[in-house]
Amino acid sequence: MFEVKQYTQEQAQAWNEFIEDSRQGTFLFNRSYMDYHADRFQDASLMIYRKGQLYALLPANRLGDILYSHQGLTYGGLITKKQATTAEICEVFIRINKYLYNSEIQRVVYKPTPWIYHCYPAEEDLYAIINICHAQLMGRDVSSTIPFISRMKFKEIRRRGIKKAIHAGVTVRESKDFATFWDILDKNLTNKYATHPVHSLEELILLHSRFPNSIKLFMAYNDKEIAIGGTIIYEMPQVVHTQYISASPEGKKIGALDLLFDYILNNVYANHKGYFDFGKSTEEQGKVLNEPLIFQKEGFGGRGVCYDCYTWETKSNIE
């Protein structure tokens, strides 16, 4: 019933059209987003057909004898339409495992799309990978998420930060000055973690040019109109996600980020019906909790949503 094929660039249009009509699709799975870093990964994405019709997609890359879904994305997993059923998805994973085993893939590392991003319930894959693939949980990160329709009040420490920022003359607005924001972000990451942002400045500008309605930058400015903090927002059908958050030393001192998120939550997205997701506050596949970071996010009302990662051996499923 099902046939598994390797994705090729000639199928980009069919791939993107399927994403647009899927239950879990976001612009992160669009090939114009995925392929910006094609030079870093050996793409091994799969297209699954049922009776000659495209039925499901699996964004993936290959490293040696391991298939990852996808190392260049925070999450991924099987992408399907509303019509997909549990029994069919179980059969799909049987076919995927046989295909991968025959392609000399020994292990799969699988990151399903968290449920908040689903436009329609879509956790059949979680059932299938446990019961068909005998997958094991290898990592669980935690993100901080706010449901717009039942938000909590900001904690007092965040409200004090807002008042401090207003008193200092801080203003907030949308911006396209990615260079200034990236500089603030890079300095913070370099000083604190001796690392750099996942995306280079050139990559951020490129991605914004490809998805101007989905990738947005909001910045906080002091009374001299100098940028002192900001966040890059990824807008998706169900979720408004903070991809990066950073503030300068001055911005941290006068509560710039508190005012920034007050503006974003209570003005820009006040009528949104989905979720606001601050992203993960964990490291080493969830083993390390960054308590100061999650304390800040929880101060705005964010509460836990897990980003899971599973693994299984392909051989065990076809012997």
Structure tokens given for 226: 């100098």
DSSP E strands, the chain? 2-6, 42-43, 46-50, 53-58, 61-63, 66-69, 79-80, 107-110, 136-147, 171-175, 215-221, 227-235, 239-247, 275-280, 282-283, 288-289, 303-313
- pLDDT of 126-149, one tens digit each? 999 999 999 999 999 999 999 999
Structure tokens given for 45: 């994405």
Question: Do 109 and 61 contact (CB within 8 A), yes or no?
Answer: no
Query: How far is 56 from 31, CA to CA, in rounded Å?
Result: 15
Query: How far is 223 from 217, CA to CA, in rounded Å?
Result: 20
Judged on CB neighbours under 10 Å (0-12, 13-18, 19+), 182 is buried
Q: Is the pLDDT of residue 318 over 70?
A: no
pLDDT of residue 317: 56
Q: What is the mean pLDDT of residues 68-86?
A: 95
Q: Which domains does the chain have, with CATH numbers?
A: 2-139+309-317 (3.40.630.30), 153-270 (3.40.630.30)
Q: What is the largest CA-CA distance in the chain?
A: 69
Q: How far apart are the first and last CA of the chain?
A: 20
Residue percentage of the chain with pLDDT more than 90: 94
- pLDDT of 170-212, one tens digit each? 999 999 999 999 999 999 999 887 888 889 999 999 999 999 9
Question: Do 274 and 238 contact (CB within 8 A), yes or no?
Answer: yes
Nearest-10 crossing angle of helices 178-193, 201-210? 140
Question: Do 242 and 121 contact (CB within 8 A), yes or no?
Answer: no
Query: How far is 315 from 319, CA to CA, in rounded Å?
Result: 7
Residue 290 CB neighbours (<10 A): 13
Question: Do 233 and 215 contact (CB within 8 A), yes or no?
Answer: yes
Highest mean pLDDT pick, 71-75, 126-130, 185-189, 315-319:
126-130
Query: How sure is the predictor about 319, in pLDDT bands with cuts at 50, 70 and 90?
Result: very low
pTM above 0.85, yes or no: yes
Query: How sure is the predictor about 271, in pLDDT bands with cuts at 50, 70 and 90?
Result: very high
